[in-house]
Chains A and B, each alone.
Chain A
């Protein structure tokens, strides 16, 4: 079973950045988005997210599955919020009715009614934009960050040597374990185990997954003894570690980090002054 990474060299602006710079910008971006509920401010942040997606040069066909999954999620929650208006109660006290739909039928003497208010619509819209911006930035990461650089990047961000090396080791094991899994699956199939046809209730189905999961796990653990010995023999952990790839900040990285931090500081200041709260356009309240 081929376990492949989504990352591909695309010669895009985002990929030319130092991964640390992008991660720092991402953290600042999350910090900013969390602070605001005002649709106008969120739209600005959403614009930044869209720019980032466009600058990444990832094709739609590659990202499609992630977007469909997350998009469905977002739409579902926005719709649910819109219908029930829950959560918005903390943000607005009075509601201005735009339209009201009454069902022509009654259920047990009660008539279902759908109230569309200005506040509720704006709340759903604001939440949609907010979640969408966050989702865009998160989806970018697997496609723009070279997995080979994860360890170095986190080391550069301050993680201890051993932990950062652990990330590199994880990356090295993934294809091996994928192959082990494939072997185990075939071996079990030869013994009559069919994963596509698991029957029984939930508990039985879970129990029947054990013949796949347990052998791979135990085999990996037992095999690790050799690796531990090999690392110890090469004096792992006795001194500071160097990496094959070296990360250096260039001018564009400093720019991106600077922008991110500036954005964060401005957002914090604005929100501390009370700007950016939930907003409904004046013309809807008339």
Chain B
């Protein structure tokens, strides 16, 4: 057993001991102090989640796909720097690009997607996470760990295309998964304004929902998805292109979905608000960028590869 594994096991043992101690000491001080059920459950889930992440890391670290050499380090750094600079510039600090409805133009997301696709999941993960961190540091917004992880996931999943031997099969799998997710999100949006609140029926939410999260932002998810479908079948001969776009799309859903949903626990947003207020306005437009900018980057990069011979 190597050092890392040993330390994880030791920490686990410590946690269990800690648990037992609380139960004992609590009972001694005040007989009515018992372990609260929901809190214990949540605690256990967090520990299991952390273990799962560690497990994935431990079992995949020998995989050559995750190998980080000089080349990967430099690509990571460039990707993160590009993402940071573009986020900073397009966040409205330097110039305001005219935006449609409330969809602020944030094309920077195409960078982690492209870097993940072109250079692998490790590069994608770093580009998204660190790029987001530095971009937020530059803008001065403050570093939110869950959004950094979410952006990192966008890049990492876009890079998962390297796992598949047959790019065509991978693309089809992704399309099905993404279709399900897109439908789910839109259904939740549709359901929420219509759901009768137990206390009182509130079209106040209806009116509110339409004014602030314009229907356009919500539908842009479906629009983006349709765009990707079109690309997949229009450029059917160029699998690289369709693979890049579909994996970027999936990464977008999962990464930003993770960030928005973790906000339910961290910031305490109600689930409906997290999905409609954070996920849809961010993920939807990102799909459009994935569908339009990533293919352009892929084609340009392929041209460069032909030229330099690497």
Give the B-binding residues of A (Cβ under 8 A): 1, 3-6, 27, 30, 33-35, 37, 62-63, 65-66, 69-70, 76-77, 80-81, 83-89, 95, 107, 110, 112-115, 117, 126-127, 130-131, 134-135, 137-143, 145, 147, 160, 162-163, 165-167, 169-174, 176-178, 181, 195-198, 201-203, 205-207, 209-210, 213-214, 216-218, 220-222, 224-225, 227-228, 231-232, 236-237, 268-269, 271-274
Contacts and interface: CB of A to CB of B under 8 A. Distances in A.
Given A142-B142, A214-B296, A166 B73 contact: yes
B95 A196 contact: yes
B133 to A, nearest CB: 8
B293 interface: yes
A217 B142 CA distance: 26
B286 to A, nearest CB: 11
Contacts of B136: 142
Given A170-B80, A195-B95, A141 B39 contact: no
B189 interface: no
Interface stretch (B107-115, B157-165, B179-187, B238-246): B107-115
Query: Which of A130, A141, A172, A217 is the most central at the interface, judged by chain B CB atoms within 10 Å of its CB?
Result: A217
Given A66-B142, A216-B82, A162 B270 contact: no
A233 to B, nearest CB: 10
Query: Which of B34, B82, B197, B268 is the most central at the interface, judged by chain A CB atoms within 10 Å of its CB?
Result: B268
6 contacts: A110-B201, A113-B200, A126-B268, A135-B142, A169-B74, A222-B304
B130 interface: yes
B283 to A, nearest CB: 15
A209 B97 CA distance: 10
Contacts of A269: 22
Interface in B14-48: 22, 26, 33-36, 39-40, 43
B267 A115 contact: no
A231 B105 CA distance: 36
Contacts of A178: 85, 89
Contacts of B6: none
Contacts of A5: 137-138
List of 10 A-B pairs having minimum Cβ-Cβ separation, nearest first: A87-B270, A274-B36, A138-B142, A169-B77, A173-B81, A139-B142, A142-B137, A170-B80, A86-B270, A170-B77
A110 B203 contact: yes
Contacts of B297: 213-214, 217-218
Contact of B138 (A6, A70, A137, A167): A6
A27 B146 CA distance: 12
B270 A273 contact: no
Interface stretch (B166-174, B248-256, B271-279): B271-279
Contacts of A271: 36, 39, 43
B70 A231 contact: yes
Contact of B212 (A35, A76, A145): A76
A65 B293 CA distance: 29
Contact of A147 (B137, B272, B308): B137
Query: Which of B76, B107, B199 is the most central at the interface, judged by chain A CB atoms within 10 Å of its CB?
Result: B199
Given A87-B269, A147-B137, A207-B296, 9 more contacts: A84-B197, A84-B208, A86-B272, A160-B68, A170-B81, A181-B89, A202-B100, A224-B75, A273-B22
B215 to A, nearest CB: 14
Interface string B130-159: 110010111111111100000000000000
B202 interface: yes
B98 A138 contact: no
A274 B81 contact: no
B273 A228 contact: no
A224 B78 contact: yes
Contact of A222 (B34, B110, B285, B308): B308
Nearest to A66: B140
A131 B103 CA distance: 24
A202 B288 CA distance: 9
B126 interface: yes
Query: Which of B73, B96, B98, B105 is the most central at the interface, judged by chain A CB atoms within 10 Å of its CB?
Result: B73
Contacts of A214: 293, 296-297, 300
B147 to A, nearest CB: 10
A64 to B, nearest CB: 9
A272 B84 contact: no
B293 A218 contact: no
Contacts of A107: 203
B40 A272 contact: yes
A85 B105 contact: no
B65 interface: no
Contacts of B131: 170
Contacts of B140: 6, 62-63, 65-66, 139, 142-143
B177 interface: no
